[in-house]
Amino acid sequence: MNRIKACIIGAGGYGGAGAIEILLRHPGVEIIALIDKQGAGEKITRLHPHLEGFCNLTVIPPEDTENIDSPDVVFFATPDGVGQVEAGYWLDRGAKIIDYSGDFRFNDLEDYTEYAARIGREKGHSSPDLLKDTVYGLPEINRDKISQARIVGNPGCFAVSCILGLAPGLKSEIIEPEGIICDAKTGVSGAGRNPRPQFHYPARYEAMNAYRIGEHQHVIEIEKQLEIISNRSLHITFTPHVVPLSRGILSTIYARATAGQNLKSAIDAYKSFYRDEPFIRILESGPGLSTDVRGSNFCNISINYDRRSHTFIIISMIDNLLKGQAGNAIQNMNLMFGFDETEGLFYPGQYP
């Protein structure tokens, strides 16, 4: 297997650490550079002590990248606004780009502008000419395009859970596109590594709350991708919650069944849609626990049916830092470079 060279920008955060952890066990990849403002000039183990003895690269500051060997792939494990400024530089050096933020999740500038308004980003896109080249990076719905892409916009973590939970139902027309409700819970790690008062342990322990009600930015990409899948315009009601867990997302999705549908037809449709997907598990014995996917790249989906209201209740669970972030990014990389899609990723979660 020929090894490709990888560079991780934003290596000091949770998303950067996740990419490092996976790539260290990937036989086809060599990490050649770690870039971040945090810990610049010091070993990455100062930021991530658990990597001691596995990765001892020195963190390079963002302004000092000229001497880095030209990488084959650059991961932007960075907030919104970084990748769109710097991607062109790395593309000119021959690299392919995988961006964790919303910078490259949209081909249309109007869609990006709507997304940017929700996160309070008033500036326009710094590289609008690159939007035509980007591919939405959810392999289960976009595999062929990802394999040919030079820029991939890694999906938002909530979006991964909700799109995977809804795609088969909308594609097979067993659920109505109107009135869909997504009620999602996430662990505190979804807020990133930088400390904030509301995520301080005494404030977060035994506390949970809804936030950004009716205005969360991931709704834009969820609706956009589901409209492509269903070939219909739709609007979902989405409410995210933070719960006192470190990692994980559990999305409870409510969708009215179309005429004549029942639990068996729904399970059959989901199994058919995902029959060749290595990281999707359709559960028939109940939804299980969020810990069933913790530390893995799997998405567990359970379909349930409320006969009184003729409603499907779909439970979709992922690890927000893996299938919702770094794991999905490596899955995209595997497709972009012709590796087996599961390389470095096919292992069970952590128990207990």
Q: Looking at the annotation, which residues are catalytic?
A: 157
What are the angstrom distances between the C-alpha of 324 and each of 18, 80, 188, 247, 328? 11, 16, 14, 10, 6
Considering Cα of 146, then 148, then 149, then 150, what sign does the dihedral take?
A: positive
Considering Cα of 220, then 224, then 229, then 235, what sign does the dihedral take?
A: positive
Answer for the pair 75, 101: CB distance below 8 angstroms, yes or no.
Answer: no
State the Cα–Cα distance between residues 199 and 99, nearest whole angstrom.
25
Answer for the pair 99, 16: CB distance below 8 angstroms, yes or no.
Answer: no
State the Cα–Cα distance between residues 212 and 127, nearest whole angstrom.
28
- Give the pairing of strands 181-186 and 249-256: antiparallel
